[in-house]
Structures are given as structure tokens and as C-alpha cells.
């Protein structure tokens, strides 16, 4: 996507390092605008709105309950690890959002529409994606066969954040990295000596 006139001016008048940053931000915004246009389609908007709502926690709570119901103590241990990972993820992403204070795409660009109401004011990083990635990695360490369900769901959660106009692609990519690191730390700390 070519740069918009204001973006072109910002890029051309800035020092080289700032020009690269401005170009990256413009691309990020461009991808967000394109993805957000998909939300204008009713079926697409409904699908991603449902995925987003499930990603608020409903899906993960149901998964934890199912683990306990079907696998007893082992399921409880996995669920407790997911819950602990989730609490750390919550504190981490809330702290990062408060620190970075990046406005949501729909608030910063009139071309982007919020197809659902946001849970909070700031964009970076995507809490839904951070949780989904961390939960998926930890759950798959306990139950690898769940990949058929969890990987597509987690990918849908990540895409939903951009399509619904709530996050930039960079918010989702950063959350994927943070969630992966958090899940790795959780698995490392829970590993038997």
C-alpha cells in the first residue's frame, strides 16, 4: 500500500532512523486498514466477533474445566499452570499497555472502524493474543493432540484483533512473542528437577 500524503511528508522530512520507523508505522497502519475492511462483511465480522468474545476468557475457562473433568488430577495440574500463566500474562500486558499508551487503531485513524467495543483504551500489546498464545503453548505441552483445536483458534484470535480494528499487526506480533516467552518460562519453571 503506498504511503498516504501525510505519511510521505513525515518520512521524507525525518532523519534516516526516523524514516525507517515512520515507514514501518505506515505499513503497520496500512495492513490494519486492509484487514479492517474485511469486517464490513457481515459473516466475517460475526465470526471474528464470536472468536474475540470467546478469547475474552470463556474458551480458556471451558478448556480448563474440561481438562479437570476428563483427566482428573493431571487435568487440574495443567489447569492450575494455565491459570498461573494467565495471571502473569494479565499483569504483564496491563503494565505494558499503561507504559506504552499506544492509541487503538480506530482512535488514531479515521479509516479504521472498531467493529466491537474494546475492553480498554490502549493497543500495545494485544492481551487476547498474548493469552491465546501462552495458553496454547502450555496446553499443548500437556495435551499435544489439542493442536487441531487450539492452533486454529489462537490464529483466529490473533487475526480478529486486527480485523475488528482494535489492534495493529505489530501489537499482535509483539503479543505472540511475549506470549511464547511467557509460556516457555512457565513450562521451564514447572519442569521437574
User: Distance between CA 57 and CA 54 in Å, rounded?
Assistant: 6
How many CA atoms does the CB half-sphere of 25 hold within 13 Å?
17
Domain boundaries along the sequence of the chain:
41-190
Residue 31 CA to chain centroid, in angstroms? 15
pLDDT digits (tens, 9 = 90+) for 89-121: 999 989 999 999 999 999 888 898 899 988 888
Q: Which segments of the chain does DSSP mark as H helices, in order?
A: 5-12, 16-38, 42-53, 59-100, 105-108, 127-142, 147-163, 169-190
What pLDDT band is residue 9 in, cutting at 50, 70 and 90? low
Whether the CB-CB separation of 169 and 162 falls below 8 Å is answered with yes
Sorted by sequence, the CB contacts under 8 Å of residue 34 that are 6+ apart come out as 1
Sorted by sequence, the CB contacts under 8 Å of residue 167 that are 6+ apart come out as 32, 104, 105, 123, 124, 126, 129, 161
Q: Would you say residue 7 has pLDDT above 80?
A: no
What pLDDT band is residue 75 in, cutting at 50, 70 and 90? very high
Give the CATH number of domain 41-190: 1.20.144.10
pLDDT digits (tens, 9 = 90+) for 45-61: 999 999 999 999 999 99
- Looking at residue 168, the DSSP 8-state letter turns out to be -
pTM to 2 decimal places: 0.86
Sign, CA dihedral 63-68-74-76, equals: positive
Amino acid at each position: 500500500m503506498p504511503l498516504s500524503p501525510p505519511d510521505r511528508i513525515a518520512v521524507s522530512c525525518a532523519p534516516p532512523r526516523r524514516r525507517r520507523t515512520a515507514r514501518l508505522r505506515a505499513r503497520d497502519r496500512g495492513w490494519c486498514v486492509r484487514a479492517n475492511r474485511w469486517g464490513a462483511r457481515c459473516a466475517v465480522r460475526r465470526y471474528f466477533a464470536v472468536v474475540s468474545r470467546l478469547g475474552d476468557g470463556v474458551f480458556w475457562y471451558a478448556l480448563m474445566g474440561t481438562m479437570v473433568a476428563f483427566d482428573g488430577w493431571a487435568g487440574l495440574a495443567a489447569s492450575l499452570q494455565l491459570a498461573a500463566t494467565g495471571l502473569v500474562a494479565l499483569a504483564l500486558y496491563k503494565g505494558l499497555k499503561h507504559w506504552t499508551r499506544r492509541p487503538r487503531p480506530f482512535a488514531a485513524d479515521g479509516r479504521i472502524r472498531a467493529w466491537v467495543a474494546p475492553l480498554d483504551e490502549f493497543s500495545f500489546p494485544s492481551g487476547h493474543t498474548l493469552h491465546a498464545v501462552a495458553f496454547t503453548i502450555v496446553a499443548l505441552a500437556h495435551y499435544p493432540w489439542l493442536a487441531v483445536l487450539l492452533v486454529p483458534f489462537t490464529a483466529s484470535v490473533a487475526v480478529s484483533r486486527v480485523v475488528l480494528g482494535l489492534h495493529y499487526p505489530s501489537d499482535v506480533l509483539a503479543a505472540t512473542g511475549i506470549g511464547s516467552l511467557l509460556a516457555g518460562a512457565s513450562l521451564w519453571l514447572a519442569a521437574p528437577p
